Amino acid sequence: MRYRNIIASALAGTTFCALAGPAAAQTSDAAQVETAVQDEAGADSEIVVLGSRIPRVQAEGPAPVTTITSEDILRNGYQSVPDVLRAITQNGGETQSQQSFSGADFTPGAQQVDLRGLGPNHTLVLVNGRRIADFPLPYGGNSNFTDISNIPVGLIERVEVLSGSASAIYGSDAISGVVNFQLKSKPDGTRIDYRAGFTEHGGGSSQRLSLTTGWETGGFHGVVGVELLDQRPLWAYQRRLQDSSADSPTTEYPIARRNFLRTDEDNDYLDPGASVCAALANLNGGTTYYARRPEYGYDIVNDEYVDGRYCGSNEAIGYGTTISERRAASLYGSMGYHLSDNAELFVDVQASYSRLKLFRDVLDWQYVAPDGNEEGTFFNPNMPVDLTYSGDQLDNWYRLFTPEEMGGLDKGMTRNRSFTYNITPGIRGRFGGGKWGYEVTYNHAEYSSKIDFPQVVISKANDFFLGPQIGEENDYPAFDADIARLYKPLTPAEYASITAYSTYRPKTWVNNFSATINTTDLLQLPAGPVGFAAVAEVGDQGYEMNPDPLALTQYYVGLVDSDGEGTRQHWGAGGELRVPVLNFLQLSGAGRYDHYAFAGNGFGKFTYNLGAELRPMKSLLIRGAYGTGFRAPDLHYVFKGPGNTHTGGTDYYLCGQNEEEIGDCGFDDVDFIARHNGNRRLRPETSTSLNAGFVFQPTRNFDFSADYFRVKMRNQVLNMRIDTILRDEAECRPGPNNAPPEADPTTPTCVDAIARVQRYASGALEGEIQSVSINPINIAEETTDGIDIAMHLRVPTAGIGQFSLAASYTHVFGHTIRQYPGDPSIDKLAFDSGYYIPGDKATASLTWDLGRFSTTLNGQRLGKLPNYAEEAYIKASYLFNLSAQVDLTDRMRISGTVNNLFDQNPIKDRTYSAYPYYDISWFDGVGRSFYLQLTYKMGGAKL
């Protein structure tokens, strides 16, 4: 990859341009290093480094910045913004892939960046230096985050990444770093790019058309770009490694999906008989059969466990989408009018519309009681007594629906129609004889969606399969249920009669008024001029989930969702100084105060950054920076309404009542519901960040940098831990035989814990946990440190062109989290920590440039990860892309790319028992892909 640790230009239409002024330097070579930039631009040219508002001459600053240009994106084979950011070595957190099950449930179609593995909500994402609206549904049902999947990759000029705290410059959210997407904004003729792609093993074909054009007429100038995308889906069943449960590495023979299943009250399988399954053989594409699962059945006569029998299919596991279907259109415009030599009016506009379709899984059904009990058990007089151990005739039915019953998989698609836009009008210029620069802007950004989730309606499905309730028996609802009904295929009309789309209309927005001034010559010192910048901002932010009202009630199978809406107001002001202490030593500092108000509460936070640059010789820069950061509480953590998720844990109270040891207790792994709610008393998260390193550049063709980093977060917001609540509850309740409790039940901790645990008051489950109520609190502490290394080498040759090598590597020394005070620290890099993040990542590229022809080999290395059993690590993985570009003329170029050059499958993990049998946060099953791009340019500079 042609990374460079500089921002070499400040283009029109951005905050950075206003700060840099009209003399901003430009460079088109991503491997160009600092002296080369200065040689091209001139010694007095000013550039702007991400993480500072003061223009400067040197490209390198006190904190390292990684930049990826549009040429880098093409040469290295990155086909989307998520592709670009996955290759960034500082992006160390798990990513939400297109086949993410959690993403499909909570945030369909959205993808995120997670610098330093501290969570996507701790990375600030900017477009043209300005904030954009969050994705309108919360990540994992909890926190807000920025969706990067809707940013048009074909309209990007460059991507800038600053890792480490930048709150003193940009305010909240910049705890782990900042990612800025700079879109094209310099008039340079008209350019058309058409790209077509396909996969070697079928499915997932795509087309993308990008067009940019610009003009300068009198005082008017502008750039307009449009991108159209047509991405076809890739289905899981189109890949042999994940098209069947036979692909599981943990079973001796295939364990079919349970399309039709009956169990008794002890969850032992009840045999339907081979003939019943034979009548269903045409379902799932003719793959349904009389299946077995070892020791899941029970032989009453011989009092022993036997094979559990049911009707299922191996191939029914592969109906999800690996790549979502997406059709999108993006528009971008940056326009300005020169009022005078010292003032310019401008407006930036960016809008995107997308229609996305993905398939999470086929729907299922089991009996759900009107009170929300999802145990699934009912009394059935039609059930022969001799089939049950207890003779209670308690029945459980479970049903997965098939494509034939649905009328095709398209009937089960989750659909997301999204519209996003940002508009920023403003004025910028210079005053004081050109000594001072200024910019005043108003920014409005909005993200709205209409999302349709397919669901099974409880009442309609219960009536369809079981008929009306005829009373109660043994504290269970009774149904005169015909067992044959469970095993009868539905017609598409019958399927439609018991299902519905649950429609959400979420929306987020942000408004911000900003004023900035800066100068490179506040006053003169013996070593040079002092730079200064100041900023003031005021605005607000809000969100509305607008869920289907029925989804907030016990209406759909397996779903009782949360609502949420709220706003907050914000103002902030800050300043920045850069002071040349000696000819070879420069110090910088920034301070900023931000105030937030929401839900009748308010808080203010001051943050600061300190930096130093020591240049003992022209070829060596020694640098360091220290900063504090903060993050205002997520809006959804604050305003989230009540809702449910399924979870489980150890019932310490009942284990104690039965005087059983934990770990050998009948209640050490019980299922129940977690009831979530927001917390309007949350305070901001805080952090400290340190980086220190050097840049060595003995020649303009070689540079090497190494930087140590350390980020520590405090008061991190996490949901309350259910295990702690259950432990407290057990200590606060009476012991066995009504013995006095271990803790005083009148203390606030005991009163709170007992109130949070709801237990069944009657019935067969009397006394067992029904639900636990939790909410987010400021409690956790997280620390990560490591080293970033980057290198660029250019080797010009006589006659055979130029060779360029670029490489970057991040090694994490440690990453720990402590969820509660007094808890031991958890090493998130350990194989048994419950976290799946790598200890190191690397990216490298080798380019051979012959002028009209060039080719690049890109390689990415992902370090070892825990295996699924969390008992060891899987080995590191490698991925290679190969590209080539040929300039047919000065105005026409053809480019070809092979992604996943060696057709590598995900690393095998013999313990991975969950479908698709590999970690979808880091791997996919797409295989080798091919892309062909044609570029044509009219006017402007040559290609």
pLDDT one-digit tens code per residue, 553-573: 999 998 889 899 999 999 999
Quick: pLDDT tens for 434-461. 999 999 999 999 999 999 999 999 999 9
pLDDT at 520: 93
Quick: pLDDT tens for 590-630. 999 999 999 888 999 999 999 999 999 999 999 999 999 99
Q: How far apart are CA 425 and CA 878, in angstroms?
A: 45
pLDDT at 335: 95
Beta strand 177-183 pairing with 123-127: parallel
Confidence of residue 12 (pLDDT cuts 50, 70, 90): very low
**Residue positions counted in the chain:** 943
Q: How far apart are CA 909 and CA 241, in angstroms?
A: 13
Q: How far apart are CA 347 and CA 345, in angstroms?
A: 7
pLDDT at 21: 29
Quick: pLDDT tens for 41-65. 343 456 666 788 887 766 677 888 9
Q: Give CA angle at 415 (414, 421), nearest 5°.
A: 140
Instruction: Concatenate the DSSP letters of all residues of 521-578 into one string.
Output: -SSEETTEEPEEEEEEEEEEEEEE----GGGGSTTBTTB----BEEEEEEEEEEEEEE
Beta bridge partners of 257: 313
pLDDT at 646 over 90: no
Q: Spell out the residues 6+ positions from residue 899 whose beta carbon is closer than 8 angstroms to its own.
A: 77, 79, 881, 928, 929, 930, 931
| Backbone dihedral region for residue 226 (phi beyond 0: left; psi -120 to 50: alpha; all else: beta) | beta
Nearest to 812 by CA among 865, 883, 767: 865
Quick: pLDDT tens for 475-510. 889 999 999 999 999 999 999 999 999 999 999 999
pLDDT at 764 over 80: no
Provide the mean pLDDT of the chain: 89
pLDDT at 388: 60
Q: How far apart are CA 777 and CA 637, in angstroms?
A: 9
**Residue the block writes with tokens 């002092």:** 530
pLDDT at 48: 67
| Contact (CB, 8 A) for 583 and 547 | no
pLDDT at 218 over 60: yes
SS3 assignment, position 371: coil
Phi, psi (deg, nearest 5) at residue 393:
55, 40
Confidence of residue 225 (pLDDT cuts 50, 70, 90): very high
| Contact (CB, 8 A) for 9 and 37 | no
816-842: average pLDDT: 89
pLDDT at 182 over 90: yes
pLDDT at 535: 97
The Cβ-side half-sphere exposure at 7, using a 13 Å CA radius, reads 33
| Contact (CB, 8 A) for 611 and 600 | no
pLDDT at 2: 33
**Consecutive H or E run containing 658:** none
887-909: average pLDDT: 96
pLDDT at 15: 32
Nearest to 821 by CA among 783, 782, 784, 780: 780
pLDDT at 706: 97
User: How many other C-beta atoms can be found within 10 angstroms of the C-beta atom of residue 39?
Assistant: 11
**Residue the block writes with tokens 């300043």:** 575
Quote the DSSP letter at residue 263: E
pLDDT at 213 over 70: yes
Confidence of residue 30 (pLDDT cuts 50, 70, 90): very low
Quote the DSSP letter at residue 635: H
- Report the share of the chain in percent with pLDDT over 70: 93
| Backbone dihedral region for residue 868 (phi beyond 0: left; psi -120 to 50: alpha; all else: beta) | alpha
| Backbone dihedral region for residue 792 (phi beyond 0: left; psi -120 to 50: alpha; all else: beta) | beta
Quick: pLDDT tens for 766-796. 899 989 999 998 988 999 999 999 999 999 9
The Cβ-side half-sphere exposure at 54, using a 13 Å CA radius, reads 26
Q: How far apart are CA 545 and CA 448, in angstroms?
A: 10
pLDDT at 677 over 80: yes
Q: How far apart are CA 411 and CA 501, in angstroms?
A: 10
